[in-house]
Structure 1
Amino acid sequence: MHKKLSKTDINRLMRLKTKRSKATLSRTGIFETLYQDMNIGRATGSKIELNSRDIKKIRELFLQQSGFDIFSDVDFSSRESTTEHFSDEKLNGKQVKANHISVYPLNGESITVEGKLYTSPEGGYITFNKECISSIQHSQCILVENFETFLNLKNANFNFSTLKKDALIVYRGDKETGITMSLLKKNFSGHVIAFFDCDFAGFAMAKASLADELIVPNTNVNTFKKIGSRDLYDIQSNKFKLNPRSFPAIYTTMMTAGYCLTQEALIFHQVPLTLEQNSRS
């Protein structure tokens, strides 16, 4: 995943402001992320072709997730001004440090750690050292793989009323999700739910984790083909050899479709999500 908005990205976003009906750009940087994670654009070799609908999606995506209009609110001629707006992991490289986890309460309640109450700012989160995991005094944690999804989880098409009132949303804090997942489950006495990308790597991490349940898409082959990534499927299918019996039925749906779905795409396209037991076999 791309984690930093480069000068090249900025220049190409500037081009979209003047070419709102059609554009052909290099499929690198943020545009590779948009193609892989959101299925925006059509890949032609090393290029990505964007039509007016794709450009509109990009504009809506930034507006939805960052609260600003890239065609009117951002001065792309200023690097400082641009990076000030792009504050998430993928666009500006600001990521939680490897020895920390970040959390926020699902229902706006206080966070209780080591007997102390903490209140996260509205729309924000609090970062703790991983050693504090055993001191989290909540009955349920929802661990999320990607930082952007961590920030936007409440926008997902999921029945959050099924979760505990004191549930915490937790970002893993490093690239080794499985390690953090095991650490969380071993040291946290409550119920653990995990949300991964619906791809081979995500299912592999789900199997390696000790989560009690998984949040997975409740959808069909057509959805995978419509908004999923074929390239991601082809790349990962050669790296992972997994047993379908170890996973929820959605794994077989993914295999049948030949496409993968990222967390970002699931939320952006409002794909229904549901809870499934995590098999330990």
Structure 2
Amino acid sequence: MEKRLIATLLRIVQTPKSDFPAGVGLRDFRQRYGIGLPVGSTSIRFSDKDKVEITALLKAQAGIDPGQVSPGAWEGLTRAQALNLAHDEKLARGAVKRDRISVKAAPGQAMRIGGRSLELPNHAHLDINWKEVDAIEHPCALVVENYEVFDALHRTEITNALAAAGYEQALIIYRGDTNESRKDHVLAFLAAFALPVVLFGDLDPASLVEASSFPNARAITLPVALDQAFDSYGNKDLYARQVGPAFEQLLDSPSRGLRTVANEIHRQRKGLVQESMIGRGVALQVEAI
């Protein structure tokens, strides 16, 4: 990481405010890691959850503990001196994860990559270097936002939902975080193989804004009984923290699917985390966007 970006990220996690100027470096960071929510064209909003992810990222990739290092500690140092404040072994570990993504098949199905078929047990996936993959025998991809859901996908109703919408045999991909895979690697893989994408994530302003601009996204996943899901598991604080101009533009989106879901979230004034769909028999559907 560049010294200037490290200083900016330290300020973000060490201050209670949530909105920060959308400079070139911070915009690139948001695009690369999928952390933060654009607010208009001049600011990026970071929630408490985002700040936790940034803290983990600083520790994992730069060996920096935001609880111990202040932005001022980097001032006046050369780049080499700045890197001396980080832990070399953690930097090396980050390099090992370059170009890697986390994949599996839909529950009850086999993964077909490079001419091979592989069935994995529950709570298992492959960590692969996508640049070493020469062929994918899956016609589409399901990108899962949260790791807990990716890991316990067999405890959701996603397989039936994909089949009903014509997305059978989807390759399941974890969107990535600071430790397991990374969003920019996932996007590069999807672009290289031109896979149509179904998104399975939280139903809240931040995730819907991301869905609206996710490359080659064709559909999103939501409960069949959306009202009931919001009544049972909706979170008003989640909505209040994330609502902003970027989300409000979706209320009039030309995409019927995005417009319908955005207006329902807005009407409910709640967000719905996808972990609520684990182990509860929540019927799912795939909605075109």
In 1, Cα distance between the equivalents of 2:133 and 2:282?
A: 31
Task: Name the Cα RMSD after superposition.
Answer: 3.3
In 1, Cα distance between the equivalents of 2:120 and 2:222?
A: 27
In 2, Cα distance between the equivalents of 1:188 and 1:113?
A: 12
Q: After superposition, where does 1:42-57 map in structure 2 within 5 Å?
A: none
Give the aligned partner of residue 173 of structure 2. Answer: 170
The normalised TM-score by structure 2 is: 0.54
The normalised TM-score by structure 1 is: 0.55
Give the aligned partner of residue 124 of structure 2. Answer: 124
Tell me the secondary structure at the aligned position of residue 172 of structure 2: strand
Give the aligned partner of residue 22 of structure 2. Answer: none
Q: After superposition, where does 1:46-85 map in structure 2 within 5 Å?
A: none
Asked if the contact 1:221–1:256 (Cα under 8 Å) also holds between the matched residues in 2, the reply is no
Tell me if 1:186 matches 2:191. Answer: yes
Asked if the contact 1:133–1:187 (Cα under 8 Å) also holds between the matched residues in 2, the reply is no
In 2, Cα distance between the equivalents of 1:269 and 1:122?
A: 17
What does the per-residue CA deviation read over 1:197-242, in whole Å, with 9 as the maximum and x for residues that have no partner? 1001110110111212211223344532431111111110147443
- Bigger CA drift: 227-236 or 269-278? 269-278
In 1, Cα distance between the equivalents of 2:146 and 2:115?
A: 28
Give the aligned partner of residue 220 of structure 2. Answer: 214
1:154 alignment partner AA: H
The correspondence for 1:198, drawn from 190, 200, 203, is: 203
In 1, Cα distance between the equivalents of 2:278 and 2:120?
A: 23
Give the aligned partner of residue 224 of structure 1. Answer: 230
1:203 alignment partner AA: L
Asked if the contact 2:100–2:182 (Cα under 8 Å) also holds between the matched residues in 1, the reply is no
- Bigger CA drift: 261-270 or 173-182? 173-182
Give the aligned partner of residue 111 of structure 1. Answer: 111
- Which is helix-richer, 1 or 2? 2
Q: After superposition, where does 1:123-142 map in structure 2 within 5 Å?
A: 123-132=123-132, 135-142=135-142
1:195 alignment partner AA: F
In 2, Cα distance between the equivalents of 1:262 and 1:270?
A: 15
In 2, Cα distance between the equivalents of 1:178 and 1:114?
A: 22
- Bigger CA drift: 156-165 or 252-261? 156-165
In 1, Cα distance between the equivalents of 2:285 and 2:118?
A: 30
Number of aligned positions between the proteins: 186
